[in-house]
Amino acid sequence: MNPRFLRSLLPWLALTLLCSLAVAAEEIKPLEPIDTSSPRTTLRGFLEFMDEAYAKGDGLVNNYLASSRLYLSPDEVGTIAKARYDLFSAERALDLSQVPPAMLDEAGRRLTLQLKEVLDRIELPPWEAIPDAPAMAAAEFKRWTIPGTEIRLVRMETGPRAGEYLFGPETVQRIPDFYAKVKYLPYRSGARGGLYDFVYYRPTGVVLALRAIVPPRWILGVPGWAMASFLDQPVWRWIGIMGVFSFGFGLAVLSFRLSQRWVGRTGAAERWTELLRPLSLVLIIPVAVLVLTQMLRISGEVNAVLTLSLWSVFYLALTWLVWVAGGALAESLIESERLITSSIDSQLIRLVLRLVTLVLAVVILVVGGDRVGVPAYSVVAGLGVGGLAVALAAQQTLANLLGSLIIMFEKPFTIGHWIKVGDIEGVVESVGFRSTRIRTFYDSLVSIPSSELVNSTVDNMELRQYRQVKTTLGLTYDTTPAKLGAFVTGVELILRADPDTRKDNIQVAFNDFGASSLDILLNFLIRVSSRREELAVRQRILLEILQLAETSGIGFAFPTQTLHIESLPPGKLA
């Protein structure tokens, strides 16, 4: 490699190293902050800190060139740390409050260097002509414009930096335009130029990232064709951008395929495998942004589009991750407690975790929107207006949701209970967020909206402590009174002897003369816990009564009619 070429590049390399963020925090010592009490001190402080950073860079370059080393020494790394704080102090002279936080690092570095390039190419008034703090205190308007330009220093009226004079947000926004207009003009006498072009068109970010692995001389030897620019980005950077996206896309596709391969696991395990897809995006995107902005140092519109798009996808993926994690956690809790999947307790666990994840999702979207440049109040207002529109359009759905909540908290019935709701009778199969499903005894499935169910009378047959058995025994009319009385007494004894009957409310009595039978009322209560047990006890008692009737010689009547035909005398028949 040509030594003269290296000597021409190394000064710019040193200046680039000053902008590095890859320095350990313990190596950094606080420096005196920039004085922003007036336009004079702000402008002077900005130029002094930038010149100090340049001076440290010159010293670093001289030491590096005088040695035979390929890598930077620890002292040179310490110089980088100090110079980085000089650059950061100069950056504090800019009001970057209108820059999206996701772009703040890159934008602050780029705009600071561009402003230095602009100020090095225009004529500045004498320091005595620039107003100081007493002059600004007496001035009517709390701002000052560099003569012959639209570069304005304004007093901050609100916020954490109220009272300071900074390059205003309008000026900061127009710095790239100012630089585009003056970048072909000559530098002022004594000004050092060319820093911005070297930082943003040479692979200096790659040098900083790999400085302990690859010698800077090797990386900076970029061929001429790779320096050609497209959309203000050199070709070597486009190659790096495609490499980053290809690698990230490959990892995302791999995680998606792994997730699909694990689909089919039962229970909560399948829900947890679904986390792999959003988790891959949450992990890949920050790394990709770091490489793009700190190593490749994409700038301008390309940086705005790629960075803001990637961070938007990141926060959407994070919302997706939280939502899926809430569902997986709910299913894990249901499995750990061994609850029925469709039970009310299971639905309540799902609902509570869904509400928690919904709140977290809203918080993530608000924070993400603020980071990419959408103010939090705009996101909240949009969510509020959208929520109101949804609420008006889905009043019945919300009513059903509230009804489901009432059912889940009050628990008038659970899965498997036999209930009566109006004309509907059956067993509860599931309680959802919109409706309750009942399987009737003729095997049809009825869905009742929850809002209607909570406003209806629900007769829960399953919660009865005792179940009533009421029937009529019809004996034939040829049964004698003695047999009838003995039979009634025998039936009562059967009921009192049975272990499952309630003894204080047994009713057995000759009740009525029926159309075709002598009717005996049979009314008693049995203690059972389910419909199956009820049928079994009922059958046992009725079989004992049937056996008693057989041994007593008593027959049960069935509906009969007797037809009487009257015979008329012959004379009347004629």
Domain 464-552: which CATH number of 3.30.70.100, 3.40.718.10, 3.40.50.1220, 3.20.20.10? 3.30.70.100
Strand pairing category for 435-440 and 229-230 = unpaired
How crowded is the C-beta side of 305, counted as CA atoms within 13 Å? 5
What are the domain boundaries of the chain?
Answer: 3-221, 234-393, 413-462, 464-552
CA dihedral 105, 107, 110, 112 (to 10 degrees): -90
pLDDT, tens only, 217-245: 777 777 888 888 888 889 999 999 999 99
pLDDT digits (tens, 9 = 90+) for 325-355: 888 888 777 777 666 555 666 777 777 888 8
Amino acid at 357: T
Q: How confident is the model at residue 38 (pLDDT cuts 50, 70, 90)?
A: very high
**pLDDT at residue 5 tops 70:** no
Looking at the structure, give the CATH architecture of the domain made up of residues 413-462: Roll (2.30)
> Does pLDDT of 109 surpass 90?
no
* Placement of tokens 């004379």 in the chain: 571
Most confident listed range (4-18, 142-156, 390-404): 142-156
Helix intervals (H) in 337-480? 344-371, 376-393, 395-410, 450-454
Map residue 499 onto helix, strand or coil. Answer: coil
- For residues 539-554, average pLDDT: 91
Could you read off the pLDDT of 141-196 as tens digits, one per residue? 889 999 999 999 999 988 888 999 999 999 999 999 999 999 888 888 877 766 77
Query: What is the residue-averaged pLDDT of the chain?
Result: 80
Q: What's the rounded Cα separation, in Å, for the pair 178 and 299?
A: 16
Its pTM stands at 0.65
Asked if residue 144 lies in contact with residue 135, where contact means CB atoms within 8 angstroms, the answer is: no
Burial string for 313-330 (b: 16+ CB within 10 Å, else e) reads: ebbbbbbbbbbbbbbbbb
For residue 437, the SS3 value is strand
